[in-house]
Amino acid sequence: MYTVLARRYRSQKFEEVIGQGAIARTLTNAIKTNRVAHAYLFTGPRGVGKTTMARILAKALNCLKAEGPTSEPCCKCESCVAINAGDDIDVIEIDGASNTGVDDVRGLRENAIYRPARARFKIYIIDEVHMLSASAFNALLKLLEEPPTHIKFIFATTQPNKVLLTVQSRCQRFDFKNISSAEIAGQLRYILKTEKIDFEDELVVAVARLANGSMRDALSLLDQLISTGIEPLTFSMLEEFLGQPDVEKIHNLIEKIAGGDAGQSLAAIGDLLVGGQSAVQIVVSAIDYMRDLMVLKCDADAAELLVVMPDGRQDACRLAEKFDMPGLIYGITMLEKLCWAVRNTDNPRALLEAVMLRLTLSEHFLDVTELLSQLKGQPARSSGKVKKNSPEPANTAVSRTNQSKKDTLRIDSPHQAESITPDRLKLPYIKSHWQTILKDIESKAVNIAAKLVDAVPQSFDDGILTLAFPPNAAMAKALCENGSVTTQIQSLLSQILGSPVKVRFIVGQAESNGEANTKKPRKTGRLSQKEVNEIISDPAVKTLLTDLDASVTDVRPP
């Protein structure tokens, strides 16, 4: 009868446990120093060795060939063999999910008083212990606090937050971590060589990463591939037999998003769906690939952090150049939200295509700076995004600054056009060139320039530039007085003027934008209902309310 790999290659001793070396050493030393606790709580994700470690600990305590508890069980005596098989009379394995009631715990308490039949200890291994009811936990408390000397408890759970704190406080807790992809890959290679099965190393690496830290998941995937009867095991089998999206197709989709090509993006999605991939698989693969691009942007040499195959690394590096870091983070965040949404919708394809197009065509959506400009009645300023008619590849939702700055109109700053002279550090010069200075700030930091739109230089003494805001721009003044914003403003002005500059902000009846204030005084008092309706119906206002999930409570003239 065939035994699956996960059972056949289960670790038998502490030193064989993969990825949990610290816990194995702690338990080994506890046995050697005779400091074994009466209750243990093993927590961690699925498939990382909790039940395996519990069985090894049980064998170490009850090995019949040793005179006492040993850190190296023989794995051959009657007790060790029975524990491996899960049918030892003195090591009782209980499924917490099917024994949740207080009556089940009462039966455990009644049997606990009897000594083990042949071994040193009667050991209870309760898997998924968090499934026990509160009443069952409370019935277990007294036995946990003062157990008979021959009783040991080992609890395993994937959700320790659901285990009562009063229970946790009576146990020694060990948190099992995800097993690294490198350790999983090493074990898979060992198993394949032992089984004498030919394989491509790319397949082993891919399966190890698909397992997401779970050794059992990796072995189950490998078992599924071996059962096809095809040798050697190749990377292409992941798409054919496991339904994993083709990496080249995912690369093509991300490339079309980076190029801002809506039609080709839809075609790429359709190609993946026709290939049999679900919307969830496409989104997850896209997240993984964009995550690789993010890693490459941070450190091109961080090979151990990448999921992408070595052969596709050069293509990924070239594609990463079309994105900037904020854009990649934004894209990953949007796709992560989409992943949850497509699981709970009746039309996942439409939702998938809508979000992918949102990323592809993001440059057509207003950014916050443009929206605020429209609300103030000022012309929208360039957001620094690449236009579709740009000769360079168009960067999208997922690209903001790096590539786009090469394609937008450059505005020479004063310190680029002229040499530094004493006149430049005087108020008349700053006033006459203030609009040019603002444009230079905008080319470096759009968000800072937006806050200074209404500011006007009023005085410049001893390296301190006083900027005046009109009374209706008090909010902009407050934003500029934020510590980090003030530091940025001072740094930018110092670079432009070629000398250290400090700034202070005041509210005054200053000229607006360096020109005489010729606007008519605005009306005061209450607005008519018609005027209120016109303001609320303004598209810019509607967009702002939607983005902020806000509603209008009152409209007043400034």
Same domain, 222 and 266: no
Q: Are strands 122-127 and 151-157 parallel, antiparallel or unpaired?
A: parallel
Tokens for 435, please give them: 């609009």
Same domain, 169 and 195: no
Domain boundary among 175, 203, 229: 175
User: 378: number of CA atoms within 13 Å, CB side?
Assistant: 14
Domain assignment present for residue 40? The answer is: yes
Same domain, 336 and 445: no
Same domain, 444 and 338: no
Same domain, 461 and 530: no
Domain boundary among 143, 160, 175: 175
Same domain, 429 and 497: yes
Same domain, 260 and 299: yes
Q: Write out the chain's pLDDT in tens, 558 residues.
A: 788 999 999 999 999 999 999 999 999 999 999 999 999 999 999 999 999 999 999 999 999 999 889 999 999 999 999 998 888 999 999 888 887 788 888 888 888 888 998 889 999 999 999 988 888 888 888 888 888 899 999 999 999 999 999 999 999 999 999 998 889 999 999 999 999 999 988 888 888 888 888 999 999 999 999 998 888 888 888 877 777 777 888 888 998 888 888 889 999 999 888 877 888 889 988 998 888 888 888 876 665 566 555 566 777 888 888 888 888 888 898 898 888 888 888 888 999 999 998 888 875 554 555 555 555 555 544 443 333 333 344 344 434 444 433 343 333 444 443 444 556 678 888 888 888 888 888 888 777 887 888 888 888 888 888 888 888 777 778 888 877 788 888 888 888 888 888 888 888 754 444 443 444 444 445 667 767 777 777 656 666 666 566 777 777 765
Same domain, 76 and 113: yes
Domain assignment present for residue 274? The answer is: yes
What is the predicted pLDDT for the residue at 514?
42
For residue 533, give its domain range. 520-558
Same domain, 235 and 254: no
Domain assignment present for residue 217? The answer is: yes
40 - beta bridge partners?
A: 154, 172
Domain assignment present for residue 405? The answer is: no
Domain assignment present for residue 324? The answer is: yes
What is the predicted pLDDT for the residue at 545?
67
CATH number of domain containing 460: 3.30.300.180
Domain boundary among 213, 242, 271: 242
Same domain, 438 and 495: yes
Same domain, 105 and 201: no
Domain assignment present for residue 512? The answer is: no
What is the predicted pLDDT for the residue at 546?
64
What is the predicted pLDDT for the residue at 386?
37
User: 467: number of CA atoms within 13 Å, CB side?
Assistant: 27
CATH number of domain containing 204: 1.10.8.60
Domain assignment present for residue 369? The answer is: no
Tokens for 82, please give them: 């029975």
Task: Provide the H-helix boundaries in 433-538.
Answer: 434-444, 446-451, 474-480, 483-497, 529-536
Domain assignment present for residue 402? The answer is: no
CATH number of domain containing 266: 1.20.272.10
Same domain, 169 and 186: no
Domain count, the chain: 5
Its pTM stands at 0.60
What residue has token string 């200053």?
A: 510
CATH number of domain containing 84: 3.40.50.300
Contacts of 449 (CB under 8 A, 6+ apart): 381, 438, 439, 441, 442
Q: CA quadruple 410, 411, 415, 421: dihedral positive or negative?
A: positive
CA distances to 296, 431, 474, 476 from 486, rounded to whole Å, are 33, 20, 15, 12
